[in-house]
Amino acid sequence: MDNRPIGVYDSGIGGLTVFSKLYNKLPKENFIYFGDTANIPYGTKSKQELLDITHRIMNFFANQNVKAVVMACNTTSAVTYDSLKNDYDFKIYPLIQTACQKIAELKIKKIGTLSTEATALSHAYKNNIQKFNPSIDVIEHGCPKKWVEMVENSTQNLLENKEIIKENIDILLKENVEKIILGCTHYPYLKEALIEITKEDIFIDPSEFFANFIANEVKITMPSEQKLYDAKFFVSFEPKKFKESSSLFYKVSKEPTLIKF
Ligand code: DGL
């Protein structure tokens, strides 16, 4: 039995799409969520910038005495996980590498990914899907940072933003992909706008596979005996805005604690 908390992080509210599922699947676990709102967006940053940021987050979680950290962020899973996975004495769960084992089992020939530019440029989805199933063709598309901004600002339903979403989806639809992975944890917030463009079952949210995998592993390898406190939230900028825009996946009940490091 291990009552130490599990850390979950992203650049903002996107990681709540993963956190909300873990929270429901693991009712006895103690969670700490960190939204790095001072550094958002991650998707346009260099590898060095993302490494510095990820190390600072890992050190924050180390000080919180976590037993595991969930990278609820595609971009840092893609760009930084391989470089730092052995640097800490707690388990680190990367989103893309974990979810792709399951995605590779799909009986399809061509799949598209929508992600940040940094994730697309890393080819993490293509490499990790083809590692398990080389016969799936993977078309990776990097979306403009506006996609993340509209989620953080809750402006995804403005007509001009719906146009931007459609332009990007059309690029993948023209390639005749059979499925589209929402390869940024912010994108499930765009669901309403996405399903106006094409059928809902074309979209795959990898956070579902990811959360199932982690929940099973935590229950077997490091279960907590009891919940000691409800989830604690921290952000690096604008706690009020985080609370206000969070509600679609998890309603944060009080303003997160502001931290700087
Ligand atoms: N939500 C994150 C991801 O899954 C980061 C988005 C960003 O900050 O650009 O990649």
Domain with residue 190: its CATH number is 3.40.50.1860
74 lines ligand 1 (CB under 6 A): yes
**189 and 113, same structural domain?**
yes
In terms of Cα–Cα distance, which of 181, 230, 243, 233 is closest to 207? Answer: 181
In a domain, 1, yes or no: no
In terms of Cα–Cα distance, which of 211, 215, 257 is closest to 17? Answer: 211
**62 and 153, same structural domain?**
no
**102 and 90, same structural domain?**
no
* Cα 140 to ligand 1 centre (Å): 15
Dist CA 147 CA 189 (whole Å): 10
In a domain, 130, yes or no: yes
In terms of Cα–Cα distance, which of 256, 181, 233 is closest to 23? Answer: 233
Range of the domain at 179: 98-206
Domain count, the chain: 2
In terms of Cα–Cα distance, which of 96, 244, 114 is closest to 179? Answer: 114
In a domain, 165, yes or no: yes
**77 and 60, same structural domain?**
yes
**81 and 110, same structural domain?**
no
231 in Cβ contact with 23 (< 8 Å): yes
**Average pLDDT for 122-136:** 98
Task: Indicate whether 261 pLDDT > 90.
Answer: no
Distances (CA, A) of 116 to 42, 78, 96, 143, 261: 8, 10, 13, 5, 25
Ligand 1, pocket-test mutation among 46, 116, 242, most atoms within 8 A of CB: 116
pLDDT at 225: 94
**57 and 121, same structural domain?**
no
**Average pLDDT for 247-257:** 92
* Cα 187 to ligand 1 centre (Å): 9
The one catalytic residue in 169, 184, 194, 218 is 184
Residue 100 annotated in active site: no
pLDDT digits (tens, 9 = 90+) for 205-251: 999 999 999 999 999 999 999 999 999 999 999 999 999 999 888 99
In a domain, 167, yes or no: yes
What phi, psi does 176 have (nearest 5°)?
55, 40
- Ligand 1 atom nearest the C-alpha of 14 is 1
* Cα 128 to ligand 1 centre (Å): 18
- Ligand 1 atom nearest the C-alpha of 187 is 1
Pair of tokens at residue 54: 């990820």
pLDDT digits (tens, 9 = 90+) for 165-200: 999 999 999 999 999 999 999 999 999 999 999 999
Pair of tokens at residue 163: 């146009």
**14 and 102, same structural domain?**
no
**201 and 151, same structural domain?**
yes
**159 and 126, same structural domain?**
yes
- Ligand 1 atom nearest the C-alpha of 40 is 8
182 lines ligand 1 (CB under 6 A): no
189 lines ligand 1 (CB under 6 A): no
**179 and 123, same structural domain?**
yes
41 lines ligand 1 (CB under 6 A): yes
- Ligand 1 atom nearest the C-alpha of 11 is 8
Q: Return the percentage of the chain with pLDDT > 90, whole number.
A: 97
Task: Indicate whether 121 pLDDT > 90.
Answer: yes
The one catalytic residue in 8, 53, 73, 182 is 73
pTM: 0.97
**120 and 87, same structural domain?**
no
**116 and 24, same structural domain?**
no
40 lines ligand 1 (CB under 6 A): yes
Note the helical H segments in the chain: 16-25, 47-63, 74-79, 81-84, 95-103, 117-122, 124-132, 146-152, 159-173, 191-197, 207-221, 239-245
Q: Around Cβ 99, how many Cβ atoms within 10 Å?
A: 27
